[in-house]
Amino acid sequence: MKKIVPVVRILLGLIFLVFGLNGFLHFLPMVTPPGLAGQYFTVLFVSHYLVLVFLIQTVAGILLLVNRFVPLALTLLAPVLVNILMFHSLMAPAGLPLALITTALWVVVFLAVRQNFAGLFAARA
C-alpha cells in the first residue's frame, strides 16, 4: 500500500492538472455533448463558471503532484468529483467510466490521509 498511494496520488494529480489546464489552453479537443448535457455544459461555459472549476482542478492537481497540502487538495476535488459523477450519471453516460476511475483514485488517496479528516467525523465538537 505504501508504494501504491504515491503512484495513485501522482496519477490523480496528473488527471486533474491536465483537464484543468485543458480548460484554459484547449489542447485536447472538447466536443459539446448532444441534448440536455450540451445545453448544461454551454451554460456553464458561457457564464464563466467553468473558469473557477478549471482553476480548482489545476491548483488541486499541482498540490497532489508536489505532495503538499494533500488533504486540502482532496477537499477541493471532492465537490468537483461529485459534480462530474452526477453530470455523467444523469446526462452524459459515455464519460462515466473515467469519472468512476477518478473517484476510486480519490478514495485511495483519501484513505491514506484519512487521519487528517478525523475531526470532521467527530460526533461532538
Q: Is the pLDDT of residue 4 over 80?
A: yes
Q: What predicted TM-score, i.e. pTM, was given to this entire model?
A: 0.93
Compute, in degrees rounded to 10, the torsion defined by CA atoms 15, 8, 107, 41.
Answer: 10
- C-alpha grid cell for residue 119? 475531526
Compute, in degrees rounded to 10, the torsion defined by CA atoms 81, 60, 14, 84.
Answer: 10
% pLDDT > 70, the chain: 100
| Distance from C-alpha of 44 to C-alpha of 89, rounded to nearest angstrom | 18
Q: Is the pLDDT of residue 2 over 90?
A: no
Each residue's pLDDT tens digit, 85-100:
999 999 999 999 999 9
The domain ranges of the chain are 4-117
pLDDT band at 7 (very low <50, low <70, confident <90, very high): very high
Each residue's pLDDT tens digit, 26-60:
999 988 889 999 999 999 999 999 999 999 999 99
CA-nearest of 106, 114, 116 to 80 is 106
